[in-house]
Amino acid sequence: MNTAVMKAESADGTLIACERRGSGPALVMVGGALCTAASDAPLAELLAPRFSVFTYDRRGRGASGDTAPYSVGREIEDLAAVIGAAGGHATVHGTSSGAVLALRAAAAGLPITHLSVYEPPFETDPAATQATPRTRAGRRPSSPQAGGGDAVAAFLAATGMSEGAVDGLRLLPLWSGMEALAHTLAYDYEVMGDGMVPTALLASVTARVMVVDGGASPAGMRDVARAVATALPHGHHRTLTGQTHEVAPHVLAPTLVRFFA
């Protein structure tokens, strides 16, 4: 599948690197923490026969620019710029913290016709947020070079990855790419807010939204997905049997096609 590379200019002048695959109705994909447009490429390839799929590097990542100071509002403007490049309105799919960003964008009134989100990593128990990096949302690095491998390791540990598994990742070539994105973890923490399901915000989303989780994910993650779907005026909940937070593209793609079509 041919890929067209372009850049969309955000409201603050930051250039956001985008890739477009396929033809048909516009579909924009929003990646999660430590992800770039390349992370969404396998799913985009599967969807390209039915849609014009736009993947993009969120600000501070890959080929996209970054402008200080960071704010969630600026990331919403970035998504608006990508939707503008896609034709002015689009369906949107977001994964993990990218799902949260997409929900915030929909609540802000972006021209999102339909929205799908996979496992937004909220909590339903206030006590749980005290044990995660999400409560450190405002303590972002003071420079783009801050963070590094220790920040990545702390983030992965907070997601439940064992110390041994993290140490194994450090030996793989992909680790250097994750280190290069470490400073953007602070951006994701800010996107998450206090970490709780934002029921009042979700109540303002007018688009149809499908909230998807994996049947093999922790029960708490599935509880969150149901809570998000319930809080949305037009929310629908789906569980993909046998899937985890690292959902298989070939399993997710047909579900998205059915919903967006």
pLDDT averaged over every residue in the chain: 92
Are 32 and 138 part of one and the same domain?
no
Give the count of domains, the chain. 2
SS3 per residue for 38-96:
HHHHHHHHHHCCCCEEEEECCCCCCCCCCCCCCCHHHHHHHHHHHHHHCCCCEEEEEEC
Which of 73-77, 83-87, 127-131 has the lowest average pLDDT? 127-131
Among 187, 208, 232, residue at a domain's last position:
187
Which of 133-142, 148-157, 211-220 has the lowest average pLDDT? 133-142
Are 29 and 111 part of one and the same domain?
yes
Could you read off the pLDDT of 194-234 as tens digits, one per residue?
Answer: 999 999 999 999 999 999 999 999 999 999 999 999 999 99
Token output for 17:
């690197």
Residue 71: per-residue pLDDT: 98
Could you read off the pLDDT of 24-56 as tens digits, one per residue?
Answer: 999 999 999 999 999 999 999 999 999 999 999
233: domain CATH number?
Answer: 3.40.50.1820
Residue 30: per-residue pLDDT: 98
pLDDT surpasses 50 at 135: no
Are 41 and 163 part of one and the same domain?
no
Please give the average per-residue pLDDT across 77-103, as a whole number.
98
* Range 154-190 burial, b when 16+ CB lie within 10 A, else e: ebbeeeeeeeeebeebeeeeebeebbbbbbbbbbbbb
Are 210 and 182 part of one and the same domain?
no
Among 161, 187, 213, residue at a domain's last position:
187
Are 12 and 97 part of one and the same domain?
yes
Are 210 and 152 part of one and the same domain?
no
Among 187, 222, 237, residue at a domain's last position:
187
Are 71 and 169 part of one and the same domain?
no
pLDDT surpasses 80 at 131: no
Residue 196: per-residue pLDDT: 96
Are 16 and 139 part of one and the same domain?
no
Enter the pTM of the model.
0.93
DSSP designation for 146: -
Are 116 and 9 part of one and the same domain?
yes
Are 71 and 163 part of one and the same domain?
no
For residue 69, cis peptide bond before it (omega within 30 degrees of 0)? yes
Please enumerate in sequence order all residues whose Cβ is within 8 A of that of 111, keeping only pairs 6 or more positions apart, or say none.
83, 88, 89, 90
Residue 147: per-residue pLDDT: 61
Band of the pLDDT at 159, cuts 50, 70, 90? confident
Band of the pLDDT at 140, cuts 50, 70, 90? very low
Residues in the chain: 261
pLDDT surpasses 60 at 132: no
Are 161 and 118 part of one and the same domain?
no
Q: Are 180 and 148 in contact (CB under 8 A)?
A: no
Domain span at 65: 3-125+194-260
Which of 119-133, 138-152, 181-195, 222-236 has the lowest average pLDDT? 138-152
Are 52 and 104 part of one and the same domain?
yes
CA triplet 147, 73, 196: central angle to 5 degrees? 75
